[in-house]
């Protein structure tokens, strides 16, 4: 989330926007927003991350617990 401010100022072409900056385009004006589109975009953006976590959950937990062993 920290890259949103930097990417907003550095990227000038909309084809180069990051996902988070592109989601800010869904606001149509100062007082309205397309909440259905924003919610759908958030779900589509979060789905691959959640699936990757579920697939690799055993390896993530194994790595965390192996690094915590003193000896």
Q: What is the pLDDT at residue 14?
A: 83
The distance of Cα 22 from the centroid of its chain, to the nearest Å, equals 11
- Per-residue pLDDT of 2-60, as tens digits, reads 678 888 888 888 888 888 888 887 776 778 888 888 899 889 989 999 999 999 999 99
DSSP 17-57: --HHHHHGGG--SSS---HHHHHHHHHHHHHHHHHHHHHHH
For residues 64 and 42, give the distance between their C-alpha atoms in angstroms, rounded to a whole number: 28
pLDDT in the model for residue 59 = 93
pLDDT for 34? 82
- pLDDT for residue 1 is more than 80: no
Tokens linked to 34: 């397309």
């Amino acid at each position: 989330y920290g890259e949103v401010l930097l990417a907003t100022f550095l990227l000038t072409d909309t084809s180069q926007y990051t996902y988070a900056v592109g989601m800010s385009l869904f606001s149509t004006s100062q007082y309205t927003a397309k909440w259905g589109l924003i919610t759908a975009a958030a779900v589509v953006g979060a789905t691959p991350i959640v699936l990757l976590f579920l697939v690799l959950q055993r390896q993530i937990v194994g790595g965390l617990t192996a690094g915590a062993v003193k000896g």
